[in-house]
Amino acid sequence: MATFAPIRLPIKRRLQTAAVLVWISALAVTTTVFFYLCTIKYLWPLIIIYLLWILMFDQAPERGGRRFNWARKCVVWSYFAQYFPMTLIKEADLDPSKNYIFGYHPHGIISLGAFSTFGTEGLNFSKRFPGITPRLLTLQSNFNIPIYRDYIMAHGCASVSKESCEHILRSGPGNSITIVVGGAQESLAAKPGTLDLTLKKRMGFIKLALVNGASLVPTLAFGENDLYELYSTSHTSRLYHVQQFMKKALGFTMPMFNGRGVFNYEYGLLPRRKPVFIVVGKPIHVEKVEGAPTTEQLQDLQKKYIDELVTIWERYKDKYAVGRSQELQIVE
């Protein structure tokens, strides 16, 4: 039996819910708008030019996107962060003369904490870390979707390809990237009360740091996995194999999950109102290597990174993960 939201609620709570709905529905709304515009024949020449430009000429996703501060600072994102609420915990200052790779953990269902922290100014990232310009990286396939691509680029999103990462890191002091390291595989383990990080075999961002001399900043979000109820599937089930096939073919997969609705608290696509505490850890200084990093260099830096993540977990778990059902686990 669903529990419905009361008719009388403070306007602030309504605005918070509306802000989250804006983000959750962005893909569906922009796609609907695009197909509606396609029904207007007078716009066909412009639409054809736009599509050709996307497919053949626009390199923005590989060049840091088209970031607009007015989009990031829009008041809607303050309400977005207040909905849960989300809190940013800063462990150390970051030198604006350097470049950084922020590793965000866990992926959760849709990485809401990563967007709030690095894709908007809802948590005042620029004020907390002056001189640092982060780009939240996502799959290249997202930039093939008309209108939606421009919407996410306006918030500082860019492609997670190697070329994109290196272009941003070499674009001058302070230019930094955020990678949700666990990716699609980790989203299948986003059970409330747990923190299983897909990290053991993830060496791409480690190599990127060594080749570019970019410092690593582990970022751990307590509560990200609590925002949705995940329906876990057996590794031998047909659904799990479909999810794995989808991940290999498309780069993303679709976990079976449930949240809440706009007017009810039990079923829907909106996240639950659960607090999220995003700890931006101390930077791990990385010396630039010439040529290809050795296996020993990669493993040594990975160990330092994992050790720092575990340190963050141990420091804050009894404060921000009181209801956990298990300890942090590094898997795969």
Predicted pLDDT of residue 189? 84
Residue 92 banded pLDDT, cuts 50, 70, 90 = very high
Asked whether the beta carbons of 309 and 105 are under 8 A apart, the reply is: yes
242: pLDDT strictly greater than 80: no
CA distances to 90, 264, 319 from 127, rounded to whole Å, are 11, 36, 25
130: pLDDT strictly greater than 70: yes
26-51: per-residue pLDDT in tens? Answer: 999 999 999 999 999 999 999 999 99
Rounded distance, CA 315 to CA 282, Å? 13
Predicted pLDDT of residue 269? 92
Domain range list for the chain: 11-331
1: pLDDT strictly greater than 90: no
Q: What's the whole-number mean pLDDT along residues 4-20?
A: 89
Sequence-ordered list of residues with C-beta below 8 angstroms from that of 70, at least 6 positions apart, any chain: none
209-225: per-residue pLDDT in tens? Answer: 999 999 999 999 999 99
Residue 128 banded pLDDT, cuts 50, 70, 90 = very high
CA distances to 62, 184, 207, 218, 243 from 201, rounded to whole Å, are 25, 14, 12, 16, 20
Predicted pLDDT of residue 165? 96
Identity of residue 278: I
Rounded distance, CA 64 to CA 165, Å? 8
Q: Is the model more confident about 321 or about 244? A: 321
Residue 234 banded pLDDT, cuts 50, 70, 90 = low
Considering the domain 11-331 in this protein, what is its CATH number? Answer: 3.40.1130
Whether the model pTM is above 0.85 = yes
238: pLDDT strictly greater than 90: no
Helix (H) or strand (E) holding 243: helix 238-250
Q: How many C-alpha atoms does 71 have within 13 Å on its Cβ side? A: 15
Q: Is the model more confident about 253 or about 110? A: 110
Identity of residue 87: T
Strands across the sheet containing 100-105: 86-90, 276-280, 215-222, 100-105, 175-180, 133-138, 157-159
CA distances to 3, 106, 206 from 110, rounded to whole Å, are 24, 10, 23
253-312: per-residue pLDDT in tens? Answer: 667 788 998 888 888 999 999 999 999 999 999 999 988 999 999 999 999 999 999 999
